Structure 1
Amino acid sequence: MGILYYGGRVYTMRHEGETAEAVFVQDGIIQAIGSETELRGLYEITEEVHLRGGMMLPGLVDSHMHLIGHGERLMRLDLSDCRSYEEMLGLVRERAAQLQPGEWILGDGWNENAFSDRKDIHRRDLDEITQEHPVLLKRVCRHAALVNSYVLEKAGLHTGISDPKGGKVGRGQDGLTGLLYEQAQELIAAIVPGPDDEYLQKALHTAITDCWKHGLVGCHTEDLNYYGGFDQVHRSFRHVIAEKPFKAHLLVHHEVAEERANHEDTHYIEFGAMKAFADGSIGGRTALLSEPYSDQPDTNGVAVFERDELAEIVAKARRLGMMVAIHTIGDLSFEYILDAIEQHPPQPGQRDRIIHCQILRGDLVQRAKGLPVVLDIQPVFVTSDFPSVIEKIGRERLPYAYAWKTLLEAGFLCAGGSDAPVERVNPFLGIYGAVARKSFFDGECYGPEQRLTMFEAVRLFTYGSACAISREHKRGMIAPGYEADFTVVDRDIFAIEPEAVQDTQVLMTVIDGTAVYTL
């Protein structure tokens, strides 16, 4: 007795071009694939689901995001669509008029590279809007934030303050700019309102609902060292996912890694590798490069940890029997993590994860090939980082920048994510970025030789995400014995022009044989 899915085209993702007419599911597990007639003759069918002529894929999984942060972005002042500085300030002005004095104005997603009027961001512009509200606006990458003078004064920050380790306080000719980079954001953490259980649960509920809408059956997320700490966050995940099924793989921040031993995995919530940040972002010029930034030669970025410190974090993971997942954008930070993994390799059968891998070098690619690592990439970054990234790194570094095809051809296992809320969570925007490599700002294709095939791109979010957590034998494909997680969409993305992929609509999201979303 089970469910028959039919009436569309099923792409198994086992091999390129392999399709089927129907899938039979029992107790949340795929029992068989084949023709509709064949499966009707072999199995007792108690429920039928018509695919409405759509295309079925293995359930898409975002390999790197921040689930609570994604919910927060949907709940807060969204600045991601602002195409001018004045537009952003206008949204802040509107919000200030709606709030009582002393209430926080919180916003997410500004990107000065998208502004058509000006690029210089400064607290004075916020001060002109309000001196009665604390204002905190996080940049799209979340590696930088802009605050007004109200916040600086309340936090006790002044021109004589020193940069914290792993961070930088923005300074100008007239004092502090209000920009806080990397760990400098921790200087205001004590005064920012802390989230309670109700807030976290609302954020998770909002985020998961949105993920379902975009065809995601699960994600790999890093939230546990924030929002009140490990226990509070884990409690919120348990509460929400008990009502809203979602396969959440939780990376464990290195500062709370010991707490992981006190909690058991469940079918929907499991713990993963130890997470750490090796550097920052390209947009904030805090990604750690081996050579200075082309447009700001007085810096080559920020090392969140020095080479030996990062190695000790990896050593700590090994003592706890854990793998590592390291945020690594610049080539020098990539070099640091290769050194650390070579010094402290994982246990046999384990795979470490290197996240982002945006700026590399040929010698580092060759070194990494000999290590048990999965490269966790975000192809949607191509659509938003170009052309501005060229100004920052120069054309001479482009051959190994966002070089997804090079990495796949070198034999790396690669997973695909969005880094939401840094980018939109919609996986089809990431797939589009991988196959088209066109900027949403100017429509140009950057690095056409690095374009992926549609099969390679979709595989990042299916088989690749499963490989990142060593679940490739039960997730990421449509095959007998695999978990019945499906994403059904309104078009055959293997048979259309790449431009049409970004408009893909999800018809149904299925987790363990149960439809959690239907359009």
Structure 2
Amino acid sequence: MATLWYGGKVRPLTGADVVEEAVVTENGIICDIGNEDELRTCWHGLFSREVNLAGGVMYPGFTDSHLHMIGHGEKLLKLDVSEMTSIEEVTEALKQKAARTPYGSWILAEGFNENLYEGARVPDRTVLDNVSTDHPIMLTRVCRHAMVTNSFGLQLADIHAGVTSPAGGRIERDSSGEPTGYLHDQAQELLKKVLPKVDRGYVQKAMQVSLKDLHRKGITGIHTEDLFYYHDPADTLTLFYDLFQGAQKMRVELLVHHEALEAVQQVKQEHPWVRLNTMKLFADGALGGRTALLSAPYADDPSSTGVAIHTQEGMDQLIRKARRYGMPAAIHVIGDGALEMALDSIEAYPAPQGTRDRLIHLQVTRKDLRERMKKLPVVLDLQPRFVVSDFPWVTDRLGEERMKDSFAWKTLLEEEIRCAGGSDAPIEPVDPLLGIHAAVMRKLPHENHDGWQPEQKLTVTEALRLFTAGAAEAVSAEHTRGTIEKGKCADFTILSEDLYDVPPDEWEARCSVEKTVVDDTVVYERRKQKDSLS
């Protein structure tokens, strides 16, 4: 028996001006869409359930094309300093945490952003030593490509003046050659390896709180990369399989870090909600810590072009590894130097037939590189919220001329390159409405300006499609997901008001998530109401 969804507005996203009245679903599939009266006549006597949208607006289910589900849950569980605007505020929060932490136990905090602090000063070991010398401290930067530790942490990790920076990473040093405690990219692994082992229960709890929050934000699908960072990769995969059972529904696409690929094979299975089809690797770091790989030096540091995580030969080997497993690759690329390396590799070793490689972040995209991407089966995995986090300081990093090819989302769409939208949570807030707003307005709601690079603003339809149809294309699922059409999955995000009718700066206040629907099942409802049964 079928379900009728009625009493509101339906935005199928098959075109900017397409609006329907009602949808019919059955067994998790969209069966019909159109005028409510006509659907009632056509399906007379076949409805076992009717769901009143109560004036709300139905969209295709929002999908986050790039996040870290466990990391998002972890952020919800531990000290988060990402909104703090001074080193003093951060250190005070750390001191309060230290007062509650047993002697010798680690203090872990997440999200520092020196660009919010006076003088853009990065905290170092001396700052953290003033917090505590009785606890090792790990303070992770908002981008997760850098972290700071105190003297206790350096001692445990055996990081001293005689230790060289590892390949693909950098240990910052003072004028005497002593480590400052600031570690970039692969150098972070020196500290991470001495952390206490994360147990299964911790990972499980992080996943549970994350899923609840994702549903609350209207998210019906995620593309997440977690298996390499917590506990044991194979057992973490088992936790994913165990979590998504029964009513706990979410369409989960797992990106598997290349170092975890072998480990998960022993437990990999066909699962109704969890798929492993893509291998993940990193080409460079991030612009904030000047570790994104550029083709020319940083404008504010002419001595550096950033960090290449792999040599070209090393990247080629990893792409060949993905192909041996029959997988496309998902490559973290921020700088144009890293993008050039990634394109060299995937051009030399093409993606398997019927799949698409994924290039994640893509903040600097030279025209010649865009021309190459147009010829490839690739999807560009964009994070619109980066624009409100990285401006205005990113102009200092890149310089005015290079900015013309940076954060250029409108240009990418106009050149008909496939694009998807994600949050990179916990780096940025997971709420898709914030990402959609950033793509449309290129500023925060309270800011009184025309937006950063206003010529690159997207339309509401373009921004919505990043988090719906574009995300489906990233996993070659555009025939079953991403729009509200006959034969596609019954995954919906229902908002209280229409994003097309409400000024974007008022979305956060007025456009609340009323229902999240996965596979015809309401997995979140803001206001419980009794559906009518025939």
Into which bin does the TM-score normalised by the smaller protein fall?
over 0.9
Within 2, Cα distance between the matches of 1:442 and 1:126?
Answer: 33
The corresponding residue for 1:511 is 518
Rounded Cα–Cα distance in structure 2 between residues aligned with 1:112 and 1:239: 39
TM-score (norm 1): 0.97
Contact in 1 for aligned 2:125/2:150 (Cα 8 Å): yes
The question of 1:249 aligning with 2:253 is answered: yes
Give SS of 1:358's match: coil
Give 1:111's aligned amino acid. N
Cα distance, 1:118–1:258 mapped onto 2, change above 3 Å: closer
Tell me which of 125, 128, 139 is aligned to 2:127.
Answer: 125
Q: Which residue of the partner structure matches residue 373 of structure 2?
A: 368
* 1:17-96 equivalent positions in 2, closer than 5 A: 17-43=17-43, 44-96=46-98
Instruction: Say which is worse superposed, 413-422 or 27-36, in terms of deviation.
Output: 27-36
2:355 and 2:475 in contact (8 A); partners too? no
Measure, in 2, the Cα distance between the counterparts of 1:404 and 1:15: 19
Asked if 1:189 corresponds to 2:192, the answer is yes
Q: 2:357 aligns with which of 343, 352, 355?
A: 352
Establish whether residue 383 from structure 1 lines up as the match of residue 388 from structure 2.
yes
Q: Aligned partner of 1:478: which letter?
A: I
Post-superposition offset of 1:176: 1.5
Match of 1:111? 113
AA aligned to 2:286 is: S
Q: 1:318 aligns with which of 316, 320, 323?
A: 323
- Aligned pairs for 1:263-302 (under 5 A) are 263-302=268-307
Alpha-carbon distance, 1:118 to partner: 4.9
- Preserved CA contact (<8 Å) 2:491 2:518: yes
Residues 381 and 67 of structure 1: is their aligned pair in 2 closer, same or farther, counting only changes over 3 Å?
A: same
Q: Does 1:204 align with 2:228?
A: no
**Letter paired with 1:200:** V
Q: Which amino acid aligns with 1:476?
A: G
State the shift of 1:173 in Å: 2.6
1:30 maps to a residue whose letter is: I
User: How far does the alpha carbon of each residue in 1:425-471 deviate from its partner, in whole angstroms, 9 at most, with x for none?
Assistant: 00111101111011579654111111100000000000000000011
Matched, 1:459 2:452: no
Using structure 2 for the length normalisation, give the TM-score. Answer: 0.95
Give 1:255 shift.
Answer: 1.6
- CA offset digits 1:276-299 (Å, max 9, x no partner): 000000111100000111111111
CA contact (8 A) 2:241 2:271 kept: no
Matched to 2:62, the amino acid is L
Deviations 1:319-371 (A, max 9, x none): 22111110000001000011001111122222111111101111111111111
Higher mean C-alpha deviation, range 9-18 or range 413-422: 9-18
Contact 2:21 2:36 in 1 (8 A): yes
- Residues of 1 paired with 2:417 and 2:22: CA distance? 32
Q: Which runs of 5+ in 1 are unaligned?
A: none
Q: Is the 8 A contact 1:485 1:511 kept in 2?
A: yes
8 Å CA contact 1:85, 1:118 repeated in 2: no
| C-alpha contact 1:10 1:20 (8 A) present in aligned 2 | yes
Question: Quick one: distance in 1 between partners of 2:290 and 2:358?
Answer: 23
Displacement of 1:484: 0.6
- Say which SS state the counterpart of residue 341 (structure 1) adopts: helix
Aligned to 2:530: none
Gaps of at least 5 residues in structure 2 are 527-534
Aligned to 1:258: 262
CA deviations over 1:139-185 (Å, ceiling 9, x no partner): 11000011111111111111121000111111113522111100001
More divergent stretch after superposition (112-121 vs 435-444): 435-444
Question: One-letter code of the match for 1:245?
Answer: K
State the Cα distance separating 1:259 from its structure 2 match: 4.1
Question: 1:6·1:23 contact (CA, 8 Å) conserved in 2?
Answer: yes
User: Residue 242 and residue 391 in structure 1: after superposition, are their counterparts in 2 closer, same or farther (change >3 A)?
Assistant: same
SS at match of 2:187: helix
User: Do the aligned partners of 2:445 and 2:506 also contact (CA within 8 Å) in 1?
Assistant: no
CA offset at residue 105 of structure 1? 1.1
The 8 Å contact of residues 490 and 507 in structure 1, kept in 2 or not, is answered as: yes
Distance 2:514 2:447 in 1: 30
Distance 2:198 2:221 in 1: 24
Q: 1:159 aligns with which of 153, 158, 161?
A: 161
Q: CA RMSD in A?
A: 1.4
- CA positional deviation for 1:261: 4.1
Which aligned runs of 4 or more in structure 1 are off by greater than 3 angstroms?
258-262, 439-444
The secondary structure found in structure 2 opposite 1:19 is coil
Q: Aligned with 1:24: secondary structure?
A: strand
Q: Please, which moves more after superposition, 99-108 or 351-360?
A: 99-108
Letter in 2 for 1:514: T
Q: Does 2:476 align with 1:470?
A: yes
CA distance in 1, matches of 2:447, 2:520: 42
What is the rounded CA distance, in whole Å, between the counterparts of 2:437 and 2:253 in structure 1? 25
2:229 pairs with 1:223: no
User: Hey, what does 2:422 align to over in structure 1?
Assistant: 417
Say whether residues 1:407 and 2:412 are aligned partners: yes
Give the Å deviation of 1:29: 1.0
CA contact (8 A) 1:485 1:513 kept: yes
Letter in 1 for 2:255: L
Q: 2:532 corresponds to which residue? A: none
- 2: CA distance, partners of 1:9 / 1:58: 12
Show the counterpart of 1:307.
312
Cα distance in structure 1, aligned partners of 2:119 and 2:370: 39
1:58 maps to amino acid: P
Distance 1:134 1:275 in 2: 31
Q: Report the counterpart of residue 176 of structure 1 in structure 2.
A: 179
The answer for the alignment partner of 2:485 in structure 1 is 479
Partner residue of 1:99?
101
CA separation of 1:327 and 1:441: change in aligned 2, threshold 3 A: farther
In the alignment, residue 130 of structure 1 is paired with which amino acid? S
Check conservation: 1:384, 1:441, Cα contact below 8 A: no
1:488 pairs with 2:490: no
Which whole-Å CA distance do the structure 1 matches of 2:262 and 2:131 have between them? 45
Is 1:338 the equivalent of 2:343? yes
In 2, are the aligned partners of 1:383 and 1:440 still within 8 Å (CA)?
no
Q: Which residue of the partner structure matches residue 145 of structure 2?
A: 143
The count of residues paired between Structure 1 and Structure 2 equals: 519
